[in-house]
Amino acid sequence: MSLPNEIATPELNLEATSLSSGSPSPQERGPGGEVERQADGKRPMYYEYKPAETVKAAHGTTLRCKTWEAEAALRMLENNLDPAVSLVYDELIVYGGAGRAARNWKEFQTIVKSLKELEADETLLVQSGKAVGVLRTWPHAPRVLIANSNLVPAWSTQEYFDELDRKGLMMYGQMTAGSWIYIATQGILQGTYETFGAMATQHFGGTLKHTVTVTAGLGGMSGAQPLAVTMNDGVCLVIEPIDERVKQKVREGYVDEQARDLDHALELCEQAKAEGRAWSIGLTGNAATVLPQLLERNFKADIVTDQTSAHDLMDYLPEGDINEVLALRAANPEEFKKQALASIVKHCQAMLDMQERGTIAVDYGNNLRGQAEKGGLQVRDENGQFLYPGFVPGYIRPLFCEGKGPFRWAALSGDPQDILRIDRALLETFPEDKLLARWIEKAQAKVPFIGLPARVCWLGYGEREKFSLVINDLVARGEVSAPIVIGRDHLDCGSVASPNRETEGMKDGSDAVADWPLLNALANCASGADWVSLHNGGGVGIGNSTHSGMVIVATGTPEKAERLRRVLTTDPGMGIFRHADAGYELAQDVARERGANIPSLNV
Ligand SMILES: NC(=O)c1ccc[n+]([C@@H]2O[C@H](COP(=O)([O-])OP(=O)(O)OC[C@H]3O[C@@H](n4cnc5c(N)ncnc54)[C@H](O)[C@@H]3O)[C@@H](O)[C@H]2O)c1
């Protein structure tokens, strides 16, 4: 099947002017030199509008907006930008390469003002991180509607998007960055824990004890990997070129120890593996350099994967001295991208070679295989299937068939006690779910709260509705001190079309059908969500995915209970519909058992 990126796209008219354009005046630099990426003088950031006080989510019960729903959107936007949460605060970059929360500082200020002024029956429209209109709608309609990074399909390439982005007309929203429901690395931790757990079950008798996983990337999402491996009792070696990121993850407790060099790292891995001790080791280095070195030394990992930001060539760091590499990115982006692609090819080739030697290789949703293919590497077999699988078809799809996905909530009070109270309620609501109990126990012990206290766990169709009502009840009874925001990642069972990731290898070949996430967003609006978003390019890069998000705020009112009931049935229900329609019997059985109404199953 030919990929949409192969379609020739029209030339961008760079002569056109826009109200959004302006000239940047960078005043500060990010910790790893990332700001240099923008120092080409093209992308307007409006630093003169940057708030004097560092942005962080407000806590407590004092409202700055006219409703809790608008206040929740404002706090979650602020939370995404909190420097403890975001990757490059100065650039409004939250995670996942260049995933932003607002288009620039000026638009951030406009969004904040609009949210503060928003009436209880108004809806704010946000287009690629810019407030573009306020509509009179209904009290039970969404307070915010967001569309980020979307392009007409034939124009939807990274290059075309980058031109618009530099011109100040768009921004990359990733999945939860531009839709204001990012909850720092914990957000992905549960999904990563589930994936490594499924790998343990499929290949290693239910535990990663006495196994070594090699991976790369210690950024927003990727930083969850080492902890997810140790939570499954395994050993993890994680490679990251920016030394400060390794140190940061050690400080945060996501990595146990930083190795001095490769020899030291391998010694630590062997030791922990032999002892059956869960341990994670961070190594400052480049995956494209280190993986071939592992092969040269005949080091055999049990699992190899990768979560560098390979989806965008401007964010994958090519081999070489890190300072020179970052300087090259600022000075000569085209040459940088060429070198990044060459390194990706080398990195992916090393993963294939490791697989050849018996290591289990899995793609972790960053499109490394797709990019390597663009670079000329053969990554598919004669049937067009990838030589090593993506994590969804490999391990997660059965969960999607049950409407399971990353359900998450954040305490608007800012009080960790609220989350711990909800943890207790969760265990009481699903007492038979041992995996869930293990997750909560491990999360409480090992997952630091960063930004607004939050929790994530995977719940399925029926379970999400049930638990959302428990949360609403806790708010109503004052057992938690403020309303609770309930949302999810766009990486979910019925909210994303992404042929190299969530919808890779669908049973009926419908991998690239993007009607589903569009229906998901429409259905969530119709059901009463508080903010709904539709994005392009999350996870795997512009043009490679379409996905939607939803958030609803449990305020404790009976009216909110009704809306929670509908939204939290609709949303995972889309996953059942999508997978049942593609022919997955498990999804069809779940639909019949739990009463999801699918017309074609009733005739
Ligand atoms: N599978 C999933 O569930 C999932 C979820 C979210 C994001 N993603 C994808 O995972 C990728 C990482 O996301 P993130 O939020 O961690 O991004 P990020 O930009 O926050 O972090 C990526 C990290 O990779 C490092 N890196 C870059 N090149 C490298 C190289 N050659 N060798 C080693 N490390 C290198 C960077 O320095 C950075 O620290 C993205 O492509 C994202 O789209 C996957």
Cα 55 to chain centroid, rounded: 21
Tell me how far apart the alpha carbons of residues 27 and 10 are, in angstroms, rounded to a whole number: 36
Name the residue at shortest CA distance from atom 42 of ligand 1: 539
Tell me how far apart the alpha carbons of residues 191 and 546 are, in angstroms, rounded to a whole number: 20
Tell me how far apart the alpha carbons of residues 484 and 478 are, in angstroms, rounded to a whole number: 12
Q: Looking at this protein, which amino acid is placed at residue 110?
A: T
Mean pLDDT within 281-288: 98
25 annotated to bind ligand: no
CA of 315 from ligand 1 middle (Å) equals: 8
Tell me how far apart the alpha carbons of residues 377 and 344 are, in angstroms, rounded to a whole number: 10
- 178 pLDDT higher than 60: yes
Among the listed residues 542, 541, 546, the one whose alpha carbon sits nearest the alpha carbon of residue 520: 546
Specify burial of residue 13 (Cβ count, 10 A radius: 0-12, 13-18, 19+): exposed
DSSP 49: G
174 annotated to bind ligand: yes
User: CB 470: neighbour CB atoms within 10 A?
Assistant: 14
CA of 364 from ligand 1 middle (Å) equals: 10
- 171 pLDDT higher than 50: yes
The pLDDT of residue 194 is 86
Ligand 1 atom with the smallest distance to the CA of 239 is 33
DSSP 225: H
Tell me how far apart the alpha carbons of residues 338 and 343 are, in angstroms, rounded to a whole number: 9
Mean pLDDT of the chain: 92
269 labelled catalytic: no
Contact at 8 Å (CB) between 345 and 372?
Answer: yes
The pLDDT of residue 6 is 40
Among the listed residues 387, 244, 422, the one whose alpha carbon sits nearest the alpha carbon of residue 322: 244
DSSP 495-537: SEE-TTTTTTT-TTS-TT--HHHHHHHHHHHHHT-SEEEEEES
* Residue reference for tokens 């059985």: 589
Phi and psi torsions of 488, nearest 5°:
-165, 170
Query: Where is pLDDT greater, at 30 or 224?
Result: 224
- 574 pLDDT higher than 60: yes
Specify burial of residue 274 (Cβ count, 10 A radius: 0-12, 13-18, 19+): exposed
State percent of the chain over pLDDT 70: 93
Specify burial of residue 381 (Cβ count, 10 A radius: 0-12, 13-18, 19+): exposed
Residues 245, 251, 255, 259: is their CA dihedral positive or negative? positive
Among the listed residues 172, 132, 130, the one whose alpha carbon sits nearest the alpha carbon of residue 151: 172
Query: Would you state the structure tokens that stand for residue 262, as one six-digit string?
Result: 């490769």
Name the residue at shortest CA distance from atom 40 of ligand 1: 309
CA of 212 from ligand 1 middle (Å) equals: 20
501 annotated to bind ligand: no
CA of 221 from ligand 1 middle (Å) equals: 6
Tell me how far apart the alpha carbons of residues 567 and 222 are, in angstroms, rounded to a whole number: 30
Distances 245 to 26, 77, 176, 283 between C-alpha atoms, Å: 22, 23, 21, 10
The pLDDT of residue 39 is 42
- 21 pLDDT higher than 70: no
3-state helix, strand, coil in the chain (%, to 5): 45, 15, 40
Query: Would you state the structure tokens that stand for residue 515, as one six-digit string?
Result: 């009607």
Three-state SS letters, 257-303: EECCCHHHHHHHHHHHHHHCCCEEEEEECCHHHHHHHHHHCCCCCCE
Contacts of 531 (CB under 8 A, 6+ apart): 69, 73, 142, 143, 144, 145, 146, 179, 180, 550, 551
The pLDDT of residue 434 is 81
pLDDT bin (cut points 50, 70, 90) of residue 603 is confident
Contact at 8 Å (CB) between 550 and 525?
Answer: no
Query: Would you state the structure tokens that stand for residue 115, as one six-digit string?
Result: 């949210």
Contact at 8 Å (CB) between 43 and 168?
Answer: yes
Query: Would you state the structure tokens that stand for residue 392, as one six-digit string?
Result: 């969804």
The answer to whether the CB of 239 is under 6 A from ligand 1 is: yes
Least confident piece of the model among 58-67, 174-183, 383-392, 556-565: 383-392
- Domains for the chain: give ranges and CATH numbers: 186-389 (3.40.50.10730)
Among the listed residues 510, 433, 529, 515, the one whose alpha carbon sits nearest the alpha carbon of residue 180: 529
Query: pLDDT digit string (tens) for 361-410?
Result: 999 989 999 999 999 999 999 999 899 999 998 899 999 999 999 899 99
pLDDT bin (cut points 50, 70, 90) of residue 221 is confident
Query: Would you state the structure tokens that stand for residue 110, as one six-digit string?
Result: 């406009």
The answer to whether the CB of 189 is under 6 A from ligand 1 is: no
- 9 pLDDT higher than 80: no
Among the listed residues 194, 129, 121, 153, the one whose alpha carbon sits nearest the alpha carbon of residue 405: 194
Name the residue at shortest CA distance from atom 39 of ligand 1: 219
Least confident piece of the model among 16-20, 120-124, 311-315, 585-589: 16-20
Distances 439 to 232, 445, 455, 491, 549 between C-alpha atoms, Å: 10, 10, 11, 19, 24
Contact at 8 Å (CB) between 238 and 304?
Answer: no
pLDDT bin (cut points 50, 70, 90) of residue 514 is very high
Residues 467, 473, 479, 481: is their CA dihedral positive or negative? positive
Contact at 8 Å (CB) between 284 and 241?
Answer: yes
Cα 181 to chain centroid, rounded: 10
Among the listed residues 105, 280, 274, 116, the one whose alpha carbon sits nearest the alpha carbon of residue 189: 280
pLDDT bin (cut points 50, 70, 90) of residue 188 is confident
- 590 pLDDT higher than 80: yes
Name the residue at shortest CA distance from atom 3 of ligand 1: 365
pLDDT bin (cut points 50, 70, 90) of residue 446 is confident
Mean pLDDT within 74-79: 98
DSSP 163: H
Contacts of 117 (CB under 8 A, 6+ apart): 66, 134
Query: pLDDT digit string (tens) for 31-49?
Result: 333 334 444 457 999 999 9
The answer to whether the CB of 543 is under 6 A from ligand 1 is: no
Mean pLDDT within 425-449: 91
Q: Looking at this protein, which amino acid is placed at residue 144?
A: V
State percent of the chain over pLDDT 90: 86
The pLDDT of residue 186 is 81
Ligand 1 atom with the smallest distance to the CA of 288 is 31
Contact at 8 Å (CB) between 396 and 195?
Answer: yes
DSSP 418-435: HHHHHHHHHHHHSTT-HH
Name the residue at shortest CA distance from atom 36 of ligand 1: 217
Query: Where is pLDDT greater, at 285 or 406?
Result: 285
The answer to whether the CB of 307 is under 6 A from ligand 1 is: yes
pLDDT bin (cut points 50, 70, 90) of residue 583 is very high
The pLDDT of residue 187 is 78
Catalytic pick from 269, 348, 401, 457? Answer: 457
Longest Cα–Cα distance in the chain: 66
pLDDT bin (cut points 50, 70, 90) of residue 92 is very high
Kind of pairing between the strands at 484-488 and 405-411 = antiparallel
Tell me how far apart the alpha carbons of residues 173 and 189 are, in angstroms, rounded to a whole number: 20
Spatial strand order of the sheet with 303-304 comes to: 257-258, 279-284, 235-240, 212-216, 303-304, 360-361
